[in-house]
Each structure stands twice: as C-alpha cells, then as structure tokens.
Structure 1
C-alpha cells in the first residue's frame, strides 16, 4: 500500500480534483482488473479508449482515476488526476509503485527492425555462461535468471516491465537485456526506466501500418537514444544509413560497429558455412555456430555490449564461440534424406532478403532452394508484394501461403503478394492457402541436398485466424513431413 501522491512523482499533471494523500493498493489500466482501493489509469489505446471505462472502474472499487480528459460527471470521494499523457503517467507510476527497480541492475535496451530478439537473447545466454544472474525481456519469453515466463508483446506494458524488474531485484539479477520496440517507445512504456545502455541493430520496412511514415518510425526509435542518461552507452550499427541518426541528440557515450565501415567494433567474414561463421573481430579470430552476415552484425553488437558492460575481451570471445542460435532464428536441421530445412522469423522484406542471400552465399547452386513464405493479416500491406518479389527472385521455387491471417481473408493477402512476382518468376511460384499443406508440398518437391526455407513465423507455436490461436509450429511440422516422406 502506498500514498497516491508518492506514486505520482514525476508525472506531468494538469489538474487535480480530490485528495492525493489517499492510500492505494495497486495501479491498473485494465478496468476488468480493478479491485477496491486501486487507481485506474485511462489509456487511449489503438483499439480501445480507457476513458470509456472510468465508470466501470469506479463501480469496481477504484479510489482514484488518472486520465487525459476529466469525465463530465465527477463522483464524490474519488480523486481525479488530469495528466498530459496517460501512457507516460502509467510509466512513471509503475516505476514509482515498484520502487524504481531498473536502478538496481544494469538494464540494456535493444532496438531496430531485425535482430532485437537475437541480440538480447544471446546477451542473456552470454552473461549466464559468464556466471551472472541475468534477466531477459523479449518477444519470445521473459527470463528472471533461470525461471521462464510467457510474453505476448515485444515490449510489455509499463506495469509488466516494472513488475518483472522488481522480481529480478528480489532474485539478485545483475544484468537485464530488453527488446525495445517502436510501439513500446511510441506508447511511452520505457519512460521512467534507467538504462545502462542502448543498442541499435538496423532499420528497414516494418510497422508502417502503425507509424504514419518511415521517417516517423525512424524518429520514434531515435527517441529511445535521446532519453539515455550520460553514464549509459549507445552502440549503433553504422553500416545502416540510419545508424548515426540515433546519435544526434543522445547524451550517452557513443560507440559504433560495422562490417563495411571503420568502427569501434569491426568484423570481417573469413568463412560462411551452414556449420557456422569464422570472423576476424577487431584483431582476433572467432568461430561461432551462428550463420550468415546478419549474424555477424549481431555478434558485433553482443561483443561490443559485453565489453562496455565490463567483461574481458578474451572471455567474451570464448563465450561467443559457445553460443547457440535463438529458437526460430535460422534454426535448421538436415533430414535423413539429406534435405536441409531452415525455419526463420523473417517477416520483413529486409530480413527475408538477408536470410535468402545468406543461403545463396553458402549453397553450391546445384540444389534447389524452396521458400515457403506468407504475410500477416491486419498489418502493413505495402510489404506483401515486396516479400513475394524477394522470395521469387532469390529462390528456385516458391510457395506463397498464409502466415497469421488474423481477421483478413488469406486469399486476399496472397493475391497482394502475387503482385510482386515478376513474369519470368511465375512458373516457379505456387500459391497454397493452407500453411500446413504448403510446407508438405515443399517437402514433396525437395530432393537430396535441396534446401527448404520456411519464413515468417520462426519461434511462434501458433497460427492466428479470426481471433483464435491454433497450435502451429513450423519447425515441428517440417520435421514430421520430411520423416514421413523419407520412410
């Protein structure tokens, strides 16, 4: 239990009606979770507006309401706080309520279009191997040292973030690595947190269903670096043309990494095979089980961050050589019939291009590269033809299929994709709506030494159709079909 006025520390308040010296039990932004003596924060979301549920929250026992617009009818005995921005208010209230947990560990945020999950997850792995207690806030899962919790969003809401950071404090966690999405930054979920460092991976076409333009998407990412404190580090990929933009207004200490440019952390790819990468990293050689030039960038980010957080160079190199790939990120196996099947989360044009170019760099060209790819429903439609164009240009055979259609008709999504297939690539492109059937067809088409890439869903173990989630695991399905066909 805490005083409301203490939880409002640093919140930009426009008006107060009532008493802020009241004791509250907890902070909630979901009216369905409100109990007696709670404070309700009315958030204006993408789909719903919390201001419509203020009466419901009061009926459920809320003693105080934080909102951007005061209701027309004010209930006696209820404290109303009118704020500039409810999302920002929730972020500060959450960190105050949980006792500023980010200040008690070293929190590093990873942002960019591609690579966030890989970089944050590999840093978690590396620091665990180095003997530290470590936390992870990622798309795939939340880890409080050795205990795993499921997650639904790339950047959870402010209350969830602070709740798990407090749990990490209680467990003695020293470092936490966190994916920071553009949605999370835009919705102010990371405000009030103290970051020890920020990493920028790259920026390409994504989330233009949410952001009005690419420039807005880029500038939202940049605000994360603008807010880093002076004693933090900012580590950016300067081979990406937006890399130095992230530095423009940051107070943090600036460091760079690159494969093609002069940088603080630089690598050269000496060997690139399905078994891994041999890199020259600054002045040292390093072998890693991770594959492809995009992973060379991820390794540079990990190496740089680990050194900036105080680990010894020799130890970092040893630990990187022991790292395993992240689930659904270039995850592959070779079947008994010598078919290589690769599952990857690539769901943006740039990520798909990176994965296909990596495979083409490694393969001998005597084998077929069969790509199964779809696009999500109710998301950025402009990338659909681009994804199909890339897949059909860089593969020998392509199966266009469903991803997570959500509330859209799968055939309409596939028709949007087909517009990107050039006439010379029509013959090698099939469209199969049912994703399971599409994977089975790819397996039937594959012969010894051929390669199947199943792109788009990666680590996800479900398919989302008309608001329902059905069990669906690309990796397991392709394994099962290849086993059946090769009996």
Structure 2
C-alpha cells in the first residue's frame, strides 16, 4: 500500500466529544498503539488496556517524534509542536480515526460480521467459500486466518485492533475484493475494535457460557454481543438464530432489517435435517432438498445462516444451494482423519461446554453400533475457570472413555486445571476417566486403546498449530500428532 498522510482535522471530523490542543493542520503518517513503534510523524494512541495503560508511554512516544497524541487524560506538560487529541474513550475515537485514515474501506466493500459463542469461524469461512464460488473476489477475517482470495495472512486475534482491521480492509479493497466476511468477537465489540466500521449485515449464531474471565457476568457477555447489532445501520440486515432464546434479544434495538433462521420453528429461512451420516448431511432448506458434504446439527444451523445471508445480499437461491453443497468444513472444525484400519479421528475446536456437547451429540447420532467414543479434552489456562468441571462432566456423560489432558495452560499449572476438571467427573464415570497431562501422550494412549470403527474426539484446539506454555508457543498440531499415532499403532491393529 502507498504511504498515507492525513491532517488531524480530516481524521477527527464528525467525532463527538473530542477536543484538540494544538494545531489541527498537523499531518500524521501512521497510527500507532505501541509506543516502541512510534516514528516521526506518527499519531500515538494511549489506550487503557487490561494489562497496561498507554498513558504511561505518552512521553516515550513524544521523545520518538510523535506528531500527535490521542489520549483520555492530558499529560501535565503539553509539548510545543505536538497536537493532543483528548477523547472520552481513546479506543472508540481510534476506531473512527482509523476508518478515516484509510478512507472508509468498510464502505467500499460488502462487509458482513458473524458473532456468537460457537460457529463464527465456520459461518464466516463458508460465506467466504460460497461467494468465491459465486464468482466474487473475497476477503476473510477469522480466528483461523485472514485471507485475501488465496493469499493467507496469519491472524493473532479473532478480530484485529481497529487500525490493523482498517488497514486489512483497505488492502482487500485495493486487491479487488467486493465482499469481506469477518468474525466479530465480544471482546472486539467491548474494546471498540469494530467502532467506525460500516457493515452490510450481521449474523448471530448462538450464545452460551464463555469468556466470563473477561466479561465477568453472563449479562455483560450478552450485552457485548448485542452491541454489535445495536451499531448496525438501517441499510444492513440482522440475521439471527431464533432457536436460541436470546436470538430475539440481540435485535431488540437494532435499526437493521431483521431476518431469522431456524431448524425448529417458522422463520425467514427454515431448515430441516433429513439424514446425517459420517459422509454427509441431507437437508431441506426453504422447501428445497440438498445434500451437503459437512455433517452435524450444528452445521445445519451454520449452513442455514449462510444461505440466509446470501439471499439477504441478493443472491439466487438455486445458485447458492448448488454452491453450498460443494463446500467443506474449515480446518479443525469436525475435521475427520481415518486410520488405515478405520478408526475415526475427529479434531474439533470445541472449547466451551455447549460446543463440546454439540460435537458429542453429533457423534452419538452418527454411531451405528457399539463403537467406543474416546474423548480427549482439556481447558485453557488464564481463561474462564467455571466451565472446567462442566466440560469434564459433559465429556464423561457422552463418551465411553475420557482422557483429560492439557490444552493451552498459558501461565497456569496444567495439573491445577485438570484438578478443577476432575471435580466435574460423575462418580459413576471415574473408572472410565483418566488424567494424562501430556497432550501428545494422551493422543497416543487413545489410539493405542481404540479398535476399528471406534471414534476418537480430540477437542479444544482444532486448527491451532501450537501449545502455549508460560508465554511460549510450542509447535503442536492435534491433527499431525493423531496421524503419527495412527502410523505408529497401525502394525499391531491389522
């Protein structure tokens, strides 16, 4: 992208509650939130984060040549030649400023956001695949990866910060993308990462227990999700799953056009699962029968929301259903890996109680005999601890055998997390539950114990190719380890 230079007055135009101390004609060439990256001519944004307060680094940014400072609290001494922009909320103001700096890229593409506890990645990825199949150039912003057509840009958060997000959108537009599909996390709404963006539509998948480490209460979590729909313009569509009892709550205050989807009741877009097997799913969508490659009731909802969004964007129902029938699941979302002697391995990102229950119930429906279901599951460290015993309880109640293991322990002791999970194991399930802290060893143990036709579920990490321990990301891919285990044990399974 070409270098950008914008005067302050053009960036703050229309932002309420902003005061400027110094010249509004000062030109800035970058927006920076990390003071160590400030270069002469930068606009430094002092953000109040969960770990640090950017206001502590205003002087550092000034020393490094910042042309302007965006802050909530002015420093005791204002330096000559630096313009200070004071806002009630730096993060919110930064959203609008970033959008202006990159010439409102979200208005130049058709931007659709997907929010909810489970299904965000699948729905955003299905939309990306679908619209490419329909002949559009597309961008994707997801947990798995950011993508411009076939070019992959690794992602570090579900939703990047407002500056990175607008830069990506500008790049996507520059490379000819007409449509962009993105996951919108509750954190992104609360932290104003999507403030200033113009959405053509929003999709709500479902809401269950998650991220209470950040939001503190379930009500706060719901409010954050709802905040996305509150921001949608009247030109947008708001598509919600009304089988989730909070679906209607999400759109109570939206100005957008409300549309609904359901597998259970009358909605704008109705679906019915006719059959579901390990090879595919047969569904009826708005009275049209279609066979899909993806499986599971949860994917029934995902496909229905994608269909609804495409129709809301003006696409032909017949073309949409034809293209959808050829789509595959995103990496690490109910991804199947089979051994030579037909043990079925399933790697899934399920890291919430509801997601784990959905996956295990799907597996239960797919069983056709006395196959064992061996579930390997852990819980991430420095995250919502309340779900740990629930995850273990669900795994035990819906599996033949359970191996509790380490996920991403981060800065917690893996054994402490596993001890909390063990509290959820029902007494009658103790004999079928073991603890193997080493995840590699846990996967190998499951394969060693499995017989042909058995199903091994490895839950929690899905697409991730690392294990985070004490701030270090070590190479670890559940899919790769599973394949290694299948190769190792194949000789004595013949």
Common topology (TM > 0.5)? yes
Q: Is 1:131–2:135 an aligned residue pair?
A: yes
Is 1:218 matched up with 2:222?
yes
Q: Among residues 307, 311, 327, which one is paired with 2:315 in the alignment?
A: 311
Equivalent residue number for residue 372 of structure 2? 368
* C-alpha contact 1:2 1:24 (8 A) present in aligned 2: yes
Contact conserved, 1:352 with 1:391, CA < 8 A, in 2? Answer: yes
Aligned to 1:159: 163
> Residue in 2 aligned with 1:291?
295
For the pair 1:3 / 2:1, whether they are aligned, the reply is no
Q: Is 1:84 paired with 2:88?
A: yes
How far is 1:365 from its partner? Answer: 4.2
Name the counterpart of 1:104.
108
Whole-angstrom CA distance in 2 between matches of 1:216 and 1:340: 39
- Check if 1:429 corresponds to 2:429: no
Match of 1:24 among 22, 28, 31: 28
Post-superposition CA distance 1:171-199 (Å, at most 9, x none): 12111101000000000111111100000
- 2:457 corresponding residue in structure 1: 453
Checking the alignment, whether the CA contact within 8 Å between 1:98 and 1:162 is kept in structure 2 is yes
Partners of 1:457 and 1:10 in 2: how far apart?
A: 43
Query: Is 1:143 aligned with 2:140?
Result: no
Matched, 1:338 2:342: yes
Aligned length: 487
The residue that corresponds to 2:207 in the other structure is: 203
1:381 paired with 2:385, answer: yes
Aligned to 1:48: 52
Q: Which residue of 2 aligns with 1:409?
A: 413
1:281 aligns with 2:298: no
CA separation in 2, counterparts of 1:455 and 1:88? 36
Aligned to 1:265: 269
SS at structure 1 position matched to 2:281: strand
Partner of 1:438: 442
- Hey, what's the Cα distance between the residues in 2 that align with 1:339 and 1:160? 43
Displacement after TM superposition at 1:364 (Å): 2.2
For 2:173 and 2:370, locate their aligned partners in 1 and report how far apart those are by CA, in whole Å: 54
Partner of 2:66: 62
2:333 is equivalent to residue 329 of structure 1: yes
Q: Deviations for 1:252-303, whole angstroms, at most 9, x for unmatched residues?
A: 1110001111111111111010111100111100100111000000000000
Distance 1:291 1:74 in 2: 61
Q: Are 2:184 and 1:180 aligned?
A: yes
Aligned to 1:168: 172
Q: Distance in 2 between matches of 1:138 and 1:335?
A: 30
**Partner Cα distance (2:141, 2:6) in 1:** 27
Q: Distance in 2 between matches of 1:205 and 1:78?
A: 46
Match of 2:240 in 1: 236
Normalised by the length of structure 1, the TM-score is 0.99
- Other-structure match for 2:424: 420
Normalising by structure 2, what TM-score? 0.98
Per-residue CA deviation, residues 237-264 of structure 1 (Å, 9 max, x unaligned), is 0000100001100111110001111111
What's the RMSD between the two structures over aligned residues? 0.8
State how far apart, in whole Å, the 2-side matches of 1:432 and 1:14 are: 55
Partners in 2 of 1:187 and 1:17 — Cα distance?
25
Q: Distance in 2 between matches of 1:456 and 1:111?
A: 19
On the 8 A contact 1:31/1:53 being kept in 2, the answer is yes
Q: List per-residue Cα deviations over 1:315-334 (Å, max 9, x = no partner).
A: 01100110011100000022
Cα distance in 2 for residues equivalent to 1:365 and 1:197: 44
Deviations 1:347-376 (A, max 9, x none): 000000000000001102411000000000
Counterpart Cα distance in 2 of 1:323 and 1:360: 24
User: Structure 2 regions of 5+ residues with no counterpart?
Assistant: none
- CA distance in structure 1 between the partners assigned to 2:55 and 2:229 by the alignment: 31
For 1:17 and 1:355, the matched residues in 2 are separated by: 56
Cα contact 1:13–1:81 (8 A) shared by 2: no
**Compared with structure 1, are the counterparts of its residues 55 and 254 closer, same or farther at alpha carbon in structure 2 (3 Å cutoff)?**
same
How far is 1:73 from its partner? Answer: 2.2
2: CA distance, partners of 1:404 / 1:286: 39
CA distance in 2, matches of 1:447, 1:427: 19
The match for 1:353 among 354, 357, 364 is 357
Measure, in 1, the Cα distance between the counterparts of 2:19 and 2:231. Answer: 26
| Cα distance in 1 for residues equivalent to 2:449 and 2:214 | 38
Measured in 2, the distance between the counterparts of 1:242 and 1:48 equals: 34
CA displacement at 1:14 relative to structure 2: 4.4
Whether 1:397 aligns to 2:401 is yes
Q: Which runs of 5+ in 1 are unaligned?
A: none
Q: What secondary structure, in the 3-state scheme, does the structure 1 residue paired with 2:315 have?
A: coil
Structure 1 consecutive aligned stretches of length 4 or more whose deviation exceeds 6 Å: none
